[in-house]
Amino acid sequence: MFQVVRKFQFCYGHRLLWYEGKCRFLHGHNAIAHIALEASRLNPQGMVLDFGELKRRLGQWIEENLDHRMILHRLDPVVPILQEAGETLFLLDVNPTAEHLAQLLYQEGVRLGLPVVEVALWETPHCRAGFRGPALANNSQMGQIGCINGQLIPPRNPAPGQPPTLPPSGQIQ
């Protein structure tokens, strides 16, 4: 199997609901995401995918949707306050943990038709979360989380004990 990995950097703010640690407060990160693609055969140019194409497709999505955004659970009580202040938000149906953001990047890569197999998200220089899955672009069987560009992305089945959620409202300007 051939593999390529591209690094993306972006800044975001978030906080965690239903959590007692210090991450329950609004704070930010300078994230580094490593996106791994795999293919059993190379394209006619001898590549899994041109790095520039990966940057153009997934990098552009990251820049337009996550970079310098507050990424919050859509039930977070601070959402209306930030909306009123004119902040651009990216809302999820799940807590915006590094694990869920890695899953989101994986799923968005798949949605864009990329053969993504793994995402490693470095929230800090010492803390990494990841998500691995099959290299199946456009796999409609995968559960999705959150909202992308105002489009509904059906949520995963909620974990036992999670609070009920409302339909997602999309990216808010």
Q: Which of 11, 23, 73, 126 is catalytic?
A: 23
92 has which bridge partners? 73
Q: Tell me the C-alpha to C-alpha distance, in Å, between residue 42 and each of 3, 6, 54, 122.
A: 10, 17, 15, 29
Report the helix count and the strand count for the chain, using DSSP H and E.
4, 8
HSE, side-chain direction, 13 A CA sphere, residue 171: 14
- Does 118 participate in catalysis according to the annotation? no
CA distance linking residue 116 with residue 5, whole number of Å: 9
Cβ-based neighbour number of residue 48 at 10 Å: 22
- Does 53 participate in catalysis according to the annotation? no
129 has which bridge partners? 121
Q: Which of 73, 123, 126, 127 is catalytic?
A: 123
- Does 123 participate in catalysis according to the annotation? yes
CA distance linking residue 37 with residue 35, whole number of Å: 7
Q: Which of 14, 68, 87, 100 is catalytic?
A: 68
Dihedral pair phi/psi, residue 31, rounded to 5°: -85, 150
Closest CA to 16 of 112, 125, 107, 123: 123
Active site residues: 23, 68, 123
